Amino acid sequence: MTSRIGLLGGTFDPIHNGHIAIAKTAIQQLKLDKLFLIPAGNPWQKPEITDAKHRFEMVKQVGKDLEKVEVLDTEIIKSGPTYTFETLQELHIKYPTSEFILILGSDAVAGIDTWKEPNLVKTLARIYVVQRAGDFTQDWHFDRIQMPPIQISSTQIRDKVMNSESISELVPKSVDEYISTNGLYKN
Element (H, E) at 106: helix 106-110
Rounded to the nearest angstrom, the gap between the alpha carbon of residue 181 and the centroid of all alpha carbons in its chain is 23
Angle at 25 between CA 103 and CA 161, to 5 degrees: 80
Output the domain CATH number for residue 96.
3.40.50.620
Listed residue (118, 103, 30, 25) closest to 66, CA to CA: 25
11 within domain boundaries: yes
71 within domain boundaries: yes
20 within domain boundaries: yes
65 within domain boundaries: yes
Bigger pLDDT: 140 or 60?
60
Averaged pLDDT for residues 64-85 = 93
Listed residue (24, 73, 25, 26) closest to 52, CA to CA: 73
Mean pLDDT rounded to a whole number for the chain: 91
146 within domain boundaries: yes
Bigger pLDDT: 150 or 141?
150
The four Cα atoms 18, 23, 27, 33 give a dihedral, to 10 degrees, of 180
Compute φ and ψ for 128, nearest 5 degrees: -120, 140
Domain holding 132, by residue range, is: 3-151
pLDDT digits (tens, 9 = 90+) for 81-111: 889 999 999 999 999 999 999 999 888 888 8
**What is the model's pLDDT at position 150?**
86
Q: How many domains does the chain have?
A: 1
Q: What global pTM score does this model have?
A: 0.92
